[in-house]
């Protein structure tokens, strides 16, 4: 118990860096996903080629190697060294954004063709067609995969300790070295990663319910509890006796 109370401030500081990298990487990945995914869904061959090149390049490169290249190799080329946190956000965002772009493209293509035809019949512009009809329907399909990608990005942030970012994994390694409590050090890290993952799941599910509600996909009404059923039954018996 003493280990947890003494090390809690260090783990909270590490959790702050993990959250910062996760949120920054998710924001970058989301922007890239939407832009590249929408471009990839176009019929223009040049736009499709550009989106395909980005997806294949960054989906085929390991995030750890990309992060090492940005932090260690790029200064040799440009003479400018990125901050460790920014290099981590950039590497994870570029990598996960390639997977997210395929998610966006697939969700857009999954919208029924009749919806496109209806927007053309209503004389919508291409921008209006995408913003007011296609994206709202595709958004509900994108969210579950976006949630999974956000969790994968958060777990992937554990490698940022290799470029001296004091995240949760870095704190666990330091505590293991100085205290010798390997089991407790990494068990605490596992618990903190699990808690952060559950927070991501909670917010993604809230977004899913909101998206489905706006599309009219409301869940089936919950069954009344036994108390409610008893009250309803008593009320009906009273009405029958009257």
Question: Does residue 242 register a pLDDT over 60?
Answer: no
Asked if 107 and 123 count as a contact pair (C-beta separation under 8 A), the reply is no
Asked if 33 contacts 103 with a C-beta cutoff of 8 angstroms, the reply is yes
Q: 228 pLDDT exceeds 90? A: no
Q: Are 45 and 95 in contact (CB under 8 A)?
A: no
DSSP 112-147: -HHHHHHHHHTT--HHHHIIIIIHHHHHHHHHHHHH
- Which range (67-81, 117-131, 209-223) has the least confidence? 209-223
CATH architecture for segment(s) 2-241: Orthogonal Bundle (1.10)
Domain boundaries, the chain: 2-241
Give yes or no for residue 196 having a pLDDT over 80: yes
Given a contact cutoff of 8 angstroms between Cβ atoms, the answer to whether 21 and 167 are in contact is yes
Residue 111 has what pLDDT?
A: 85
Element (H, E) at 186: helix 182-214
How much is the pLDDT for 43? 80
pLDDT score, position 220: 47
Dist. CA 116–CA 133, nearest whole Å: 8
Question: What percentage of the chain carries pLDDT values higher than 90?
Answer: 40
Question: Looking at the predicted structure, is the pLDDT value of residue 24 above 90?
Answer: yes
Taking the C-alpha atoms of residue 200 and residue 194, their distance in angstroms, rounded to an integer, is 10
Asked if the model's pLDDT at residue 61 lies above 60, the reply is yes
| Cβ atoms 150, 204 nearer than 8 A | yes
Q: Read off the pLDDT of residues 133-145 as tens digits, 9 standing for 90 and up.
A: 888 888 888 988 9
Q: Please, what's the largest Cα pairwise distance for the chain?
A: 91
Using one digit for the tens of pLDDT, what is the confidence trace for 95-124?
Answer: 999 999 999 999 888 888 888 888 888 888
For residue 6, the surrounding DSSP H or E stretch is helix 2-40
Q: Give the chain's mean pLDDT.
A: 85
First to last CA, the chain: 66
Q: What is the mean pLDDT of residues 208-233?
A: 65
Q: Residue 68 above 50 pLDDT?
A: yes
Which of 212, 204, 118 is CA-nearest to residue 154? Answer: 204
Has residue 158 got a pLDDT over 80?
yes
């Amino acid at each position: 118990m003493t280990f947890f109370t003494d090390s809690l401030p260090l783990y909270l500081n590490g959790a702050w860096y993990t959250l910062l990298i996760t949120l920054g990487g998710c924001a970058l990945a989301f922007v890239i996903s939407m832009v590249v995914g929408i471009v990839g869904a176009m019929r223009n061959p040049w736009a499709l080629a550009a989106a395909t090149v980005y997806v294949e390049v960054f989906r085929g490169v390991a995030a750890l190697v990309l992060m090492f290249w940005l932090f260690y190799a790029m200064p040799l080329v440009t003479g400018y060294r990125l901050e460790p946190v920014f290099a981590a956000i950039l590497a994870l965002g570029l990598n996960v954004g390639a997977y997210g772009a395929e998610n966006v493209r697939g969700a857009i293509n999954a919208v029924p063709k009749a919806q496109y035809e209806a927007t053309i019949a209503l004389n919508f512009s291409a921008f209006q067609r995408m913003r007011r009809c296609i994206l709202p329907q595709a958004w509900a399909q994108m969210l579950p995969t976006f949630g999974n990608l956000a969790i994968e990005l958060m777990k992937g942030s554990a490698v940022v300790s290799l470029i001296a970012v004091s995240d949760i994994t870095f704190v666990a390694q330091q505590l293991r070295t100085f205290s010798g409590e390997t089991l407790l050090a990494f068990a605490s890290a596992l618990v903190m990663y699990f808690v952060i993952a559950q927070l991501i799941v909670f917010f993604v599910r809230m977004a899913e319910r909101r998206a489905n509600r706006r599309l009219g996909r409301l869940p089936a009404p919950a069954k009344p509890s036994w108390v409610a059923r008893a009250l309803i039954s008593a009320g009906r018996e009273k009405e029958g006796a009257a």
